[in-house]
């Protein structure tokens, strides 16, 4: 069940927050420029990140004033660091948290550091990730960006707000048209373009370097070595100037922790706060795996041109997602011109694949689909295991407009009214033995 959204009063402003998990440690997740505590759960990647945190802590999330579900504020008077720090204290008071660990991402880092320096009695530890002491360069801070460059980046992001353009900076390993669309929806639910501009430009005035020596609580700086939004040098500066701070550099190019190797990211936080890492036992479930892809996609792309092809891909992904959800499935990911989905019933999976095949013909494209039922490992929002490989190989054997299934699937839907024709026995690349395949005819 998703956590209930509640409100804390910070002065005259209502701050939206959620609480979940029941671990012995309180973590206050301090987001970056924008957030929406309810939309967080629409993303399986963010949901998995928060689920991992809540496995060892009580987690408190909130929307900063002017963003998400908290009260709006005038874009001409964006909230100061001090005001946002007061919001953290108000939320902690509302949930009865005496001491907590602020975990600050990006723009949330400076306010987390200010809170730890100002209220050490209410801060049990501090985690700063993908963040900075200041953004703009200076004679004594050459790792910063030129102010005009920052303003140019802000102009581009604001002009494209709601399109998910920020993905290329914050989660480049996941960059795709489909993911940008989802992030664009999250952007629109989290902040207005004017507020985003005001908060980003306010960062040009932020400089917390003088307060760093005053941070006395245990501190970890967690930064990806290839962070494309906030280079790792900013994290190293923080570690060098906060007394006793631990610097942990993890591989990756993503800025947000729910992209890339999320488990490694959370493992570092868990070990720092508890002294022990989580040893994950993958959940294993019986599921029907469905792969679809577009037949002759390269040729169709060349024929139609980039713009028209992108429009068709967007529509294809939209239709696929709709039909997957209509039949109770879960879209795991989209890659290139294909989709991967799982279902808890093979008959529903077949009907979903058939519906996608029919619906996409109106777009002037043919897809092929392959299905197999077997035991899968659930790794966060992803699925792995031999059943997944078999499903992919079955799909590769299908012809245009064909839904091809393994014998396992055919046998499991006996009595469902679905009809099949035999496609013979085949060797599937990388899979031992021979496999009997069947084409869905009804």
> For residue 317, what are the contacts with CB-CB under 8 A and spacing of at least 6?
177, 178, 334, 339
Are 211 and 113 within 8 A, CB to CB? yes
Which residues touch 52 (CB under 8 Å, ≥6 apart)? Answer: 262, 263, 266, 278
H or E element that contains 323: helix 306-326
Q: Are 113 and 146 in contact (CB under 8 A)?
A: no
- For 363-398, what is the HEC assignment? CCCCEEEEEEEEEEEEECCEEECHHHHHHHHHHHHC
Task: Please give the biggest Cα pair distance in the chain.
Answer: 76
CB atoms within 10 A of CB 76: 7
Per-residue buried b or exposed e for 372-405, using 16+ beta carbons within 10 Å of the residue's own CB: bbbebbbebbebebebbbbbbbbbebbeeebbbb
Q: Report all structural domains of the chain as residue ranges with CATH numbers, in order of start.
A: 6-274 (3.40.50.1820), 283-440 (3.30.70.1230)
- Whole-angstrom CA distances from 167 to 172, 195, 418 are 6, 19, 42
Per-residue pLDDT of the chain (442 residues), as tens digits, is 689 999 999 999 999 999 999 899 999 999 998 999 999 988 878 988 998 999 999 999 999 999 999 999 998 888 888 888 899 999 999 999 999 999 999 999 999 999 999 999 999 999 999 999 999 999 999 999 899 998 998 899 899 999 999 999 899 988 888 889 989 999 999 999 999 899 888 888 899 999 999 999 999 999 999 999 999 999 999 999 999 999 999 999 999 999 988 989 999 999 999 998 765 556 678 899 999 988 888 887 888 888 888 888 888 888 888 899 989 898 888 776 788 999 988 999 999 999 999 888 888 888 899 999 998 887 767 788 888 889 989 998 999 999 999 999 999 988 888 999 999 999 887 777 788 999 999 6
CB-CB contact of 292 with 337 (8 Å): no
Residue 360's Cβ-side half-sphere holds a number of Cα atoms within 13 Å equal to: 33
Strands 219-224 and 126-129: parallel
Q: Read off the pTM.
A: 0.67
Instruction: Output DSSP code: residue 12.
Output: T
Q: 193-202 and 147-159 are packed helices; what angle lies between their axes, rounded to 10 degrees?
A: 170
Cα–Cα distance for residue pair 440/403, rounded to 1 Å: 6
- Side by side, which strands form the sheet with 219-224? 6-10, 13-20, 57-62, 25-30, 101-105, 126-129, 219-224, 246-250
What interhelical angle do 44-54 and 262-274 show, nearest 10?
A: 20
pLDDT recorded at residue 282? 60
Q: CA 344 to CA 133: how far, in whole Å?
A: 48
User: What is the rounded distance in angstroms from the CA atom of residue 120 to the CA atom of residue 336?
Assistant: 49
CA–CA gap between residue 402 and residue 34 (Å, rounded):
44
Helices then strands (H, E): number in the chain? 14, 16
Instruction: 433-438: list long-range contacts, CB under 8 Å, 24+ apart.
Output: 435/390, 435/394, 435/406, 435/407, 436/406, 436/407, 437/394, 437/397, 437/404, 437/405, 437/406, 437/407, 438/404, 438/405, 438/406, 438/407, 438/409, 438/410
CA–CA separation, 35 and 42 (whole Å): 12
DSSP string, 144-213: SBPHHHHHHHHHHHHHTTTTTTTHHHH-GGG--HHHHHHHHHHHHHH--HHHHHHHHHHGGG-B-GGGGG
Torsions phi, psi for 15 (to 5 deg):
-110, 120
154 alpha-carbon distance from chain centroid? 22
């Amino acid at each position: 069940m998703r956590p209930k959204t509640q409100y804390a009063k910070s002065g005259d402003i209502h701050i939206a927050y959620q609480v979940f998990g029941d671990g012995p440690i309180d973590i206050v997740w301090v987001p970056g420029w924008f957030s929406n505590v309810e939309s967080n759960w629409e993303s399986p990647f963010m949901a998995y990140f928060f689920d991992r945190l809540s496995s060892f802590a009580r987690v408190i999330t909130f929307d900063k004033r002017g963003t998400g579900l908290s009260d709006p504020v005038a874009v001409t008077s964006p909230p100061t660091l001090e005001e946002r720090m007061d919001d953290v204290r108000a939320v902690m008071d509302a949930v009865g948290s005496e001491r907590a660990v602020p975990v600050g991402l990006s723009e949330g880092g400076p306010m987390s550091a200010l809170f730890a320096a100002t209220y050490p009695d209410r801060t049990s530890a501090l985690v700063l990730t993908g963040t900075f002491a200041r953004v703009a360069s200076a004679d004594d801070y050459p790792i910063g960006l030129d102010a005009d460059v920052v303003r140019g980046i802000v102009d581009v992001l604001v002009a494209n707000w709601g399109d998910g353009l920020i993905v290329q900076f914050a989660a480049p390993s996941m960059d795709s048209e489909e993911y940008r669309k989802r992030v664009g929806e999250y952007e629109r639910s989290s902040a207005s373009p004017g507020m985003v501009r005001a908060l980003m430009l306010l960062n040009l005035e932020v400089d917390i370097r003088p307060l760093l020596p005053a941070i006395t609580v245990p501190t970890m700086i967690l930064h990806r070595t290839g962070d494309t939004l906030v280079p790792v040098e900013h994290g190293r500066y923080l570690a060098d100037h906060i007394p006793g701070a631990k610097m942990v550099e993890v591989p990756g190019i993503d800025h947000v922790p729910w992209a890339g190797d999320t488990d490694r990211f959370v493992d570092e936080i868990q070990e720092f706060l508890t002294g022990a890492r989580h040893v994950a036992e993958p959940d294993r479930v019986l599921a029907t795996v469905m792969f679809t892809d577009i037949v002759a996609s390269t040729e169709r792309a060349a024929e139609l041109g980039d713009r028209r092809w992108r429009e068709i891909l967007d529509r294809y992904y939209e239709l696929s997602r709709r039909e997957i959800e209509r039949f109770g499935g879960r879209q795991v990911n989209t890659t290139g011109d294909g989709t991967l989905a799982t279902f808890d019933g093979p008959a529903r999976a077949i009907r979903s694949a058939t519906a996608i095949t029919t619906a996409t013909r109106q777009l002037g494209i043919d897809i092929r689909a392959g299905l197999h039922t077997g035991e899968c490992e659930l790794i966060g929002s992803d699925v792995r295991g031999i059943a997944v490989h078999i499903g992919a190989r079955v799909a590769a054997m299908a012809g245009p407009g064909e839904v091809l299934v393994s014998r396992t699937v055919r046998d499991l839907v006996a009595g469902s009214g679905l009809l099949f024709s035999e496609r013979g026995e085949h060797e599937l690349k990388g899979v031992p033995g021979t496999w009997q395949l069947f084409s869905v005819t009804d």
